[in-house]
Amino acid sequence: MGDYVNVKELFGCDVFNDSVMQDRLPKKVYKELKKTIEEGKELSMEVADVVAHEMKEWAIEKGATHYSHWFQPLTGVTAEKHDAFITAPMENGKVLQSFSGKELIKGEPDASSFPSGGLRATFEARGYTTWDCTSPAFVRHDAAGGTLCIPTAFCSYTGEALDQKTPLLRSMEAINTQALRLLRLFGNTTSKRVTPSVGAEQEYFLVDKEKYMQRKDLVYTGRTLFGAMPPKGQEMDDHYFGTIRQRVSAYMKEVNEECWKLGVTAKTQHNEVAPAQHELAPIYAPVNIAADHNQIMMRILKKVASRHGMRCLLHEKPFAGLNGSGKHNNWSLTTDDGINLLEPGKTPHENIQFLLVLTCILKAVDKHADLLRESAADVGNDQRLGGHEAPPAVISVFLGEQLEDVLEQLISTGTATRSKTGEKMDTGVKTLPDFMKDATDRNRTSPFAFTGNKFEFRMVGSKDSISACNVVLNTITAEAFKEACDVLESAEDFDLAVHDLIKEYATEHQRIVFNGNGYAPEWEKEARRRGLPVLSSMVDAIPALTTDKAVKLFGEFGVFTKTELESRAEIQYEIYAKAINIEAKTMVDMATKQIIPAVIKYTTVLAESINQVKAVGPIDVSVQMDLLKKASKLLKEVNSTMNKLSKLVDQIETHPEGRDRAVFCREKLVPAMEKLREPVDELEMLVDKDMWPMPSYGDLVFEP
């Protein structure tokens, strides 16, 4: 039995949360800070100084020696610079520890050293991190000791957003403003704020550390670039929700404890479908806090894995032929007084406010399907989307039978008079208790599915930040709400106008609704017929960022300027080209230094064996000869395809940075990489296992 864990005492113990602030801050200072957090009031330097002092004292009591502005640049990971609390030594040789309001509010990292898409030249270094007081500070304990981490936004000297958080906070303001307009139209005068709430389910793989270190592809790229399927994969469905292995259970226990200490509400854990794949899901939180928590969670998953002699893989497709890993972004809109705008109630057909919210979201997703697809675009997702469990790369909305029926009534007759209800579940076993089943089944193939009182965006990649997709969801919904409110606020007959608007939106945007099998090959053809964007790769999706439609949308709500959008597109192209370049060079390196020498050794041993057997007498060596011929033929193919790939790698620099280079990588390098992989994977099935230079898929996923 392990140590007893008191979750109540453990939870949030390393977080400078509301209860800590209430205990430690003077009442007046606490009230001022709460106003800033809840109402967006400006924070005075006097208040900041008091908060900084108490935050420092609390952090030192927790063992912190340094503080850091913790931010999320466009690198895909978090960034931090650690400063000690110490100040210049006094005359007696002792040292003071201090932390001012100015140091709390503002930091100054080198902006030109992070991706900026041309916003910052190499010689223009100044950038700023600024405290996001809506997301609590926390003390992180690791090999460096204790560090006070202060969640911050990151912008350039000229004010452009260089991070994930700034546009997310802007989009939250946009949807709050427009959602409150909508609520006021329906007579709600008490709700003061509407906040997107998100729960991000995190999928990941665990593999043994020693085996991981023997795979250069995993080390350099996060995924296997070579690898033949083992005799057994996931086809037996015996891993999903199966008994968790003891080594993994011990890991999960520690992950939970680390999460809970930092206020991350880790709740649900289980084995996923693929061998060695698992999932961890938190409880909902305001979207900016949920984004911070997801970054914390990913770091904890990796850190704790190392302690247990394992490596955590967050790549979207670490193993070909097995499920990829995603991050299901469960999104809803809630008021400060507990109203969920996506709660249909028992009779959705009578819930006019819900139907307006729902059809506004249908309109938003239909109008901006390309942007929503781009928000989930990353290099690893190109391998994941459309295969095994992952949704297809076509945006559609699943509503389920109940809501689809309501919409069909509205479209065909102009009025919805009924809602399908759940029935009593008949299991056929008398001893099992009766219960009511839901009115609607779920659809695992839909990228954007309504699941009771929220939408689940299943397209996000496992290592990606959830900020990008939520920026899009918040902003496109804000636009739809605004356009609806513009009509309704000037309507003479509100009831008639809202009825007509719901019918109009449901009719005009019904093409985005698809409740069928997203994996079916016919769906892509049908999607094209409907006029839905089919963007199969990251490179196809990136242009959505800079269309006139996107520039107008984000500009109107102050979420992105045109310059910021253009810079993000450039960064995306650059990330894609660099990632593919690294993968291609890794394949060449592995083929040259490991695979070809191993096959030469194998064929040499085989040839010597044939000669030795022949020397004994007239013995049939046809099997050995066939193996030698086949291995030699494949070896020649490996060498030929490797040389072609190597030449293409040399040509990358001749293509201008940006879209040209990214397109070259997708159209030339990716197919060449696939060509090299084919003979290598075939050779893995031929060559003596003791001679093969790296652990196999079976070694990695069945022996964590």
Q: pLDDT tens, 481-536?
A: 999 999 999 999 999 999 999 999 999 999 999 988 888 888 989 999 999 999 99
Give the H or E element holding residue 678.
helix 670-684
Tens of pLDDT, residues 165-181: 999 999 999 999 999 99
Sorted by sequence, the CB contacts under 8 Å of residue 275 that are 6+ apart come out as 233, 234, 239, 322, 701, 702
First to last CA, the chain: 22
pLDDT of residue 351: 83
How far apart CA 392 and CA 518 sit, in angstroms, is 6
pLDDT of residue 205: 95
Among 209-223, 375-389, 539-553, 580-594, the range scoring the smallest mean pLDDT is 375-389
Q: What is the mean pLDDT of residues 298-305?
A: 96
How far apart CA 263 and CA 249 sit, in angstroms, is 21
Place of tokens 């102009």: 414
How far apart CA 80 and CA 148 sit, in angstroms, is 11
Among 146-155, 361-370, 582-591, the range scoring the smallest mean pLDDT is 146-155
Residues 251 and 300 sit within 8 Å (Cβ to Cβ): no
Percentage of the chain with pLDDT > 90? Answer: 68
Percentage of the chain with pLDDT > 70? Answer: 91
Tens of pLDDT, residues 459-484: 999 999 999 999 999 999 999 999 99
Place of tokens 């000037």: 490
> In terms of Cα–Cα distance, which of 447, 450, 457, 373 is closest to 407?
450
How far apart CA 36 and CA 21 sit, in angstroms, is 14
What is the pLDDT confidence band of residue 208, given thresholds at 50, 70 and 90?
A: very high
Sorted by sequence, the CB contacts under 8 Å of residue 525 that are 6+ apart come out as none
Q: What is the pTM of this model?
A: 0.92
Residues 395 and 373 sit within 8 Å (Cβ to Cβ): yes
Collapsed DSSP state (helix, strand, coil) of residue 446:
coil
Sorted by sequence, the CB contacts under 8 Å of residue 538 that are 6+ apart come out as 377, 378, 379, 381, 382, 572, 576
CA distances from 515 to 326, 431, 506, 511, 549 (A): 21, 34, 15, 11, 28
Among 54-58, 221-225, 408-412, the range scoring the smallest mean pLDDT is 408-412
How far apart CA 17 and CA 293 sit, in angstroms, is 14
Collapsed DSSP state (helix, strand, coil) of residue 324:
coil
Beta bridge partners of 278: 204, 271
Higher pLDDT, 430 or 346: 346
How do strand 145-156 and strand 64-70 relate by DSSP bridges?
parallel
Collapsed DSSP state (helix, strand, coil) of residue 393:
coil
Q: Is the pLDDT of residue 95 over 90?
A: no
Collapsed DSSP state (helix, strand, coil) of residue 694:
coil
How far apart CA 530 and CA 464 sit, in angstroms, is 30
Q: Which amino acid is at 219?
A: V
pLDDT of residue 346: 79
